[in-house]
Amino acid sequence: MSVPQSPVPPAAVRPAEQQPQWPDPDEVTRVRERLAGLPPLVGPHDSDRLAALLGEVARGRAFLLQGGDCAEMIERATPAAVHGTVETLSRLAGTLERAFGMPVVTVGRLAGQYAKPRSSPLETVQGRTLPAYRGDAVNGAAFTAEERTPDPRRMLRAYEAAATTLRLVADRPEPVPRPVAREVFVSHEALLMDYELPLTREDSRTGRAYAGSGHLLWAGERTRDPEGAHIAFLSRIANPVAVKIGPGARPDDLLRLARTLNPGAVPGRLTFIVRTGAGTVRRVLPELVGAVADAGVPVAWVCDPMHGNTVRVNGRKTRYFDDVYEEIAGFFEVHRALGTHPGGVHLEMTGADVTECLGGGSGAVWSAGLRPADLASRYESACDPRLNRTQTLELGRLIAGLRTPSLVAAG
Ligand code: PEP
Ligand code: MN
């Protein structure tokens, strides 16, 4: 049997990076056929509306709040977990909306964040080596040979968990009385080609291809090669797309990505999510923003203050609250100096009281926040450390105190 034709052939110059070594290719084919026969999780109309809202971000008239788990877990597609994350995001969005006097576009790392890029394909623990965890759509996080063996049937379970998550996002209690419930869109890294391609469908109204796995998809720092399969995929879908930008990126890299991903120079089509590290952002960001502005390419600029600030403490990956805040402050400063719009923030956070990031506490007083000895008590992330609910809301109050995007936009 052949795989049904996708409107988006994997027509990349190079094979896709960061794909699992599936042990049974026939099983992958069967799963792809199943996925290709299932309904898309999101439709073109909603993806187009998000693109329009992101156009407002690119024009300096709205702010993007994007957040959620580093790695969603299938078994945590529960009301408690999803409502906790969405409620925390909604509160934070409300805080920023009031402070900045502009709409906040709210996007979860939700309903699809089930595949992870890894710096090494293998992990060794106490002399034993197994495949690295690549996200719940690929294998299990537990360090056993059985769990770590990639299983394509997991992609079907990820699809079901994403569908459940979308239902929970749509049907949730509203903690803050609002005349209209805040709309929350969903996003994830478009990493796993065997999942993304069968869920990509042609829109019969327009003939354009849309990823049906989420509204906004991004390419990660490890898969943003302009000649690579992931950028080729993003270039062929009509959804709004984003690219993570690390400290090593050169202005030319961004200009090439912009030409490939946004040839029509449409505001809202392309977002750059910059994650350089707190100590680096003020040095490297001006050149990047300046080059893109000079080229006249409309993009939304978003700060991911998480991935450049990961450290190891007591054998665990963690991040200091103060570093996270400091990178955002630097990002705002650079944009203020250039007269450009600090368009948003991208956080790894949760509504739960986990103990994964250090510090926080009122006024960012270190002694009031989490300490290294606390990390062990509720460290539940399958991948990178998340801000807990208290830390997320505190960060929101600090961001609200930065000079506002509306003032920048007003010049
Ligand atoms: C992530 O967002 O979890 C991630 C892996 O990011 P990056 O590609 O920026 O390293
Ligand atoms: Mn992460």
- State the CATH number of the domain containing residue 279: 3.20.20.70
Residue nearest to atom 4 of ligand 1 (CA): 220
Residue nearest to atom 3 of ligand 1 (CA): 70
Query: Does the annotation list 348 as a binding residue?
Result: yes
Going by C-alpha positions, the residue among 343, 352, 316 that lies closest to residue 399 is 343
For position 236, what pLDDT does the model report? 97
Atom of ligand 1 nearest to the CA of 273: 9
Residue nearest to atom 8 of ligand 1 (CA): 220
Question: Does the residue 18 lie in any domain?
Answer: no
Write out the residues surrounding ion ligand 2, Cβ under 5 A. Answer: 70, 384
Which of 73, 109, 221 to mutate to test ligand 1, by most ligand atoms within 8 A of the CB atom?
221
Question: Does the residue 235 lie in any domain?
Answer: yes
Question: Does the residue 10 lie in any domain?
Answer: no
Question: Does the residue 384 lie in any domain?
Answer: yes
Neighbouring CB atoms inside 10 A of 310's CB total 18
For position 235, what pLDDT does the model report? 98
Neighbouring CB atoms inside 10 A of 44's CB total 22
Atom of ligand 1 nearest to the CA of 383: 3
For position 363, what pLDDT does the model report? 47
Question: Does the residue 326 lie in any domain?
Answer: yes
In whole angstroms, give the CA distance from residue 67 to residue 240: 17
Query: Does the annotation list 221 as a binding residue?
Result: yes
Atom of ligand 1 nearest to the CA of 109: 2
Residues with beta carbon inside 6 Å of ligand 1? 70, 117, 220-222, 244, 275, 307, 384
Residue nearest to atom 1 of ligand 1 (CA): 70
Question: Does the residue 34 lie in any domain?
Answer: yes
Which of 118, 222, 224, 381 to mutate to test ligand 1, by most ligand atoms within 8 A of the CB atom?
222
Provide the residue range defining the domain that includes 398: 25-410
For position 3, what pLDDT does the model report? 40
In whole angstroms, give the CA distance from residue 150 to residue 133: 9
Question: Does the residue 3 lie in any domain?
Answer: no
The total number of structural domains that make up the chain: 1
Question: Does the residue 262 lie in any domain?
Answer: yes
Q: Which ligand is nearest to the CA of 382?
A: 2
Query: Does the annotation list 182 as a binding residue?
Result: no
Q: Is 240:35 a contact under the CB 8 Å cutoff?
A: no
* Predicted confidence pLDDT, tens digits, the chain (411 residues): 344 445 555 454 689 999 999 999 999 999 999 999 999 999 999 999 999 999 999 999 999 999 999 999 999 999 999 999 999 999 999 999 999 999 999 999 999 999 999 999 999 999 999 999 999 999 999 999 999 999 999 999 999 999 999 999 999 887 656 656 789 999 999 999 999 999 999 999 999 999 999 999 999 999 999 999 999 999 999 999 999 999 999 999 999 999 999 999 999 999 999 999 999 999 999 999 999 999 999 999 999 999 999 999 999 999 999 999 999 999 999 999 999 999 999 999 999 999 999 999 854 444 468 999 999 999 999 999 999 999 999 999 999 999 665 554 444
Q: Which residues pair with 209 in a beta bridge?
A: 202
In whole angstroms, give the CA distance from residue 121 to residue 132: 5
- SS3 letters for the chain? CCCCCCCCCCCCCCCCCCCCCCCCHHHHHHHHHHHHHCCCCCCHHHHHHHHHHHHHHHCCCCEEEEEECCCCCHHHCCHHHHHHHHHHHHHHHHHHHHHHCCCEEEEEECCCCCCCCCCCCEEEECCEEEECCCCCCCCCCCCCHHHHCCCCHHHHHHHHHHHHHHHHHHCCCCCCCCCCCCCEEEEEECCCHHHHCCCEEECCCCCCEEECCCCEEEECCCCCCCCCHHHHHHHHCCCCEEEEECCCCCHHHHHHHHHHHCCCCCCCCEEEEECCCCCCHHHHHHHHHHHHHHCCCCCEEEECCCCCCCEEECCEEECEHHHHHHHHHHHHHHHHHHCCCCCEEEEEECCCCCCCCEECCHHHCHHHCECHHHCCCCCCCCCCCCECHHHHHHHHHHHHCCCCHHHHHCC
For position 176, what pLDDT does the model report? 59
Query: Does the annotation list 160 as a binding residue?
Result: no
Query: Does the annotation list 224 as a binding residue?
Result: no
Structure tokens at 11: 């027509």
- 365 CA distance to ligand 2 middle (Å): 25
Q: Which residues contact 1 (CB under 8 A, 6 or more apart)?
A: 29, 30, 33
- 258 CA distance to ligand 2 middle (Å): 24
- 223 CA distance to ligand 2 middle (Å): 14
Q: Which ligand is nearest to the CA of 218?
A: 1
Atom of ligand 1 nearest to the CA of 71: 3
Query: Does the annotation list 97 as a binding residue?
Result: no
Which of 119, 271, 307 to mutate to test ligand 1, by most ligand atoms within 8 A of the CB atom?
307
